[in-house]
Structure 1
Amino acid sequence: MQLNINPHQLEEQVFGEKELSFTLQDLKNVIPAYCFEPSIGRSLFYFFLDISIIAGLYAIAYSLDSWWFFPLFWLMQGTMFWALFVVGHDCGHSSFSKIKWLNNLIGHLCHTPILVPYHGWRISHRTHHANTGNIDTDESWYPVSESQYNAMTGIEKFLRYKLFLLAYPVYLFKRSPGKTGSHFLPSSPLFRPSEKWDAIASTVCWGLMVTFLGVLTFKFGFLFLFKYYVMPYLVFVVWLDLVTYLHHTVEEIPWYRGNDWYFLKGALSTVDRDYGFINPIHHNIGTHVAHHIFLNMPHYHLLTATEAIKPILGEYYRKSTEPIWKTLFKSAKTCYFVPNEGSPVYYERKK
């Protein structure tokens, strides 16, 4: 006899319990201790490797100066901008090294050239990790309720559900829907009073980069900027939004409200992705479940940690092996809003 069972009912049997059958310490105990120890030499290797590839691609593009080559250059260089961002991402989590000033220095060197305010992003990203899976307090890529969706204007729906792969620059200035403050102003609700000068420092660095790009445009013209910076930057933005969207916007992933949420359960509300040959290029950022559980683990140990914790996680571990384009299309078609009440809740299609 075939049973007609809503797959979300099955999900609730796994994710809807108040308590998990394992703890954070249980997971940590099965991971080799070295996975939690960043290596300055290894971290710097990835930083200099990315910088070298970026410089090499610029040299080739400038030497050829061919419109036949530029589309390939934009794709490759934008991907390397994204890879460099991931190294800065490690700095923001203090998984690049245990030296604060080194993390801040390399973080700014990674993020400023791609117009990311290092401290502003680091702090908002900290909020995201501390509240993953919590509809009320998560920082980015959280769902709207059905009533909120119905209240949105046509242009708001178009921007959120059609142009989401270009959302990141807007997010820096406006944050996510329903939240106020920018990543640049120290008066933003994002920042604690003690973080005022961090915010100012990163905003100044960002401003200097914008000024530098303005000088290049004045000296060489907008076409020069378009060829060598604007297009690679847009590819980087698409990468950033694509990866973040796909790790947190899935029909089968639960979202929680109120007391039904706590850190470990929320951290499991994500999915690992396989980006094929891109995996080592962007430093295995697709290994996302272990990253959300252990925020300060260097990216180069995430694969080892994942294999160690999978037996304990069991059904709580999720990995998609679907082609990225296919899973993107599926999420964009099915993930619009969640029910107004209840916990856990799941994305639903528009009606």
Structure 2
Amino acid sequence: MSAITTGLALESTTVARSKNIGSLSQVSEQKTAINTYGDVFTVPDYTFKQVLDAIPKHCFQKSLPYSLHFVARDILAMAAIGWVGTTYIPLVQSQALRFVLYSLQSFGIGLFGFGLWILAHECGHGAFSNYPRVNDFVGWVLHSYCGVPYFSWKFSHAKHHQHTGNLQKDTVFIPWKKAELLEQSEHDDIFEIVHDTPIYSIIKLIGQQLGGLQLYLATNATGQPHPGWSKLGKSHYNPNSPVFDPEHYWYILLSDLGLGLVATGVYFWYKQFGLLNMAVNWFVPWLWVNHWLVFVTFLQHTDPTLPHYDDSEWNFAKGAAATIDREFGFIGQHIFHDIIETHVLHHYVSRVPFYHARDATDAIKKVLGKHYRHSDENMWKSLWKCLRSCQFVDGSNGVYMYRNTNGIGVGA
């Protein structure tokens, strides 16, 4: 018997013997499951209307000038960092120190670059202003500069919000089921050998953080399988992709045009100012934006306490609660525009602008109660923990919880 098969068999036996199983009879008749830690998870029973009614009316108010001032702030910060670095770092004599300073320059620009990406994301949800055309123009410009196809992302991301946590209909970060992991193990000897090793996790982590976004955009990786379609056929750059509806065709081409214009501009940037200037001020910050996007979104939807649902068991209120708020300090609140700290609220009502999201979050906590997920654990620690402990999901009543073959939590 393979190592993975043995581990899964042991996990099933351990779940049956869990000390928490005995407490199920004391839980209400709502459906339950056992999370990775061995604790009882109870499926939410409140309605979306209850959540919506709890949010103060002022939280829905949007201000175009106020939103635009954040765009201006982030652009000015990027320009200032770039100007200071380009002007003064070449004067440093030590090559090693110049490398460190250029790296810090790219890191700083990348932070505010991801801030711009978040503001474009606000545009895609209609939370930026009350003017849809303004939202789409600003979002198209900002997302294109960040190397993301605006309308393509907007449409697939909207489906993600409509079906969050639905194993059959969600569009991203869809975990393997237990049977799928077993099948992969049986047909791939190398995968069977290395799958539960730390080195495999490290390689996967590096690949995910550096190339995960581009792989998703190019091939719909971690999305729905869409049988009969090639990987490139499912691309976010393909207007005929099954990811989109037929009426999206010309918008996808407009997204591609935006990326083409940015690529052309970056090429002339390189020709005019040189490879180093372009790389430090755009290419490496672009890599950082890729990293931050995957880092943030993965940890918003992956945690040992979070469920997934079969379509028959899923509803919007349950799915929106299958997300988690985390803390990323000053950067999270002031540069990443609270996208990490208020993501649960964002999944319930994405049209609330980020500058009202904390008030709205405080309000919905009263409805969500124990179903509100929050963690103040260091996010770098959480990244490694989730990668090792959340390998696949398993369940028997339409509710699926994360499991692993690494001896972490239930099954250890």
Find the counterpart in structure 1 of residue 106 from structure 2: 74
Find the counterpart in structure 2 of residue 104 from structure 1: 136
What letter matches 2:398 in structure 1?
S
For 2:277 and 2:183, the matched residues in 1 are separated by 43
| Equivalent residues of 2:103, 2:280 under 8 A apart | no
Q: Which has the larger radius of gyration?
A: 2
Match of 1:5 among 7, 14, 20: 20
Q: Under a length normalisation based on structure 1, what TM-score does the superposition of the two structures give?
A: 0.92
1:142-221 matches, cutoff 5 A: 142-152=174-184, 153=188, 154=190, 163-166=207-210, 167-177=212-222, 178-179=225-226, 181-221=234-274
**Pairing 1:307–2:351 present:** no
Determine helix, strand or coil for the equivalent of 2:306: coil
Determine helix, strand or coil for the equivalent of 2:402: coil
Consecutive unaligned residues in structure 2, runs of 5 or more: 1-17, 22-33, 91-97, 407-412
Determine helix, strand or coil for the equivalent of 1:234: helix
For 1:266 and 1:65, the matched residues in 2 are separated by 49
Match of 1:36 among 56, 60, 85: 60
Match of 2:391 among 321, 326, 336: 336
Deviation at 1:253, TM superposition (A): 0.3
Find the counterpart in structure 1 of residue 371 from structure 2: 316
Deviation at 1:340, TM superposition (A): 7.0
Distance change in 2, residues 1:4/1:52 (3 Å): same
User: Which stretch has the larger CA shift, 212-221 or 72-81?
Assistant: 212-221
For 1:4 and 1:191, the matched residues in 2 are separated by 46
For 1:267 and 1:225, the matched residues in 2 are separated by 40
* Deviations, residues 34-75 of structure 1 (Å, cap 9, x unaligned): 111211121111111111111111111211234242121121
* Deviations, residues 132-154 of structure 1 (Å, cap 9, x unaligned): 01111111112111232234455
Give the root-mean-square deviation of aligned CA atoms: 2.1
Distance change in 2, residues 1:151/1:81 (3 Å): farther
| Equivalent residues of 1:40, 1:97 under 8 A apart | yes
As a proportion of its length, which structure holds more strand? Answer: 2
Deviation at 1:160, TM superposition (A): 5.1
**Pairing 1:273–2:326 present:** yes
Find the counterpart in structure 1 of residue 13 from structure 2: none
Find the counterpart in structure 1 of residue 72 from structure 2: 48
For 1:329 and 1:172, the matched residues in 2 are separated by 24
Deviation at 1:11, TM superposition (A): 3.6
Matched pairs, number? 344
What letter matches 1:285 in structure 2?
I
**Pairing 1:283–2:333 present:** no
What letter matches 1:264 in structure 2?
A
Q: Under a length normalisation based on structure 2, what TM-score does the superposition of the two structures give?
A: 0.79
User: Which stretch has the larger CA shift, 219-228 or 89-98?
Assistant: 219-228
Find the counterpart in structure 2 of residue 345 from structure 1: 400
Find the counterpart in structure 1 of residue 293 from structure 2: 240
Determine helix, strand or coil for the equivalent of 1:265: helix
For 1:329 and 1:124, the matched residues in 2 are separated by 27
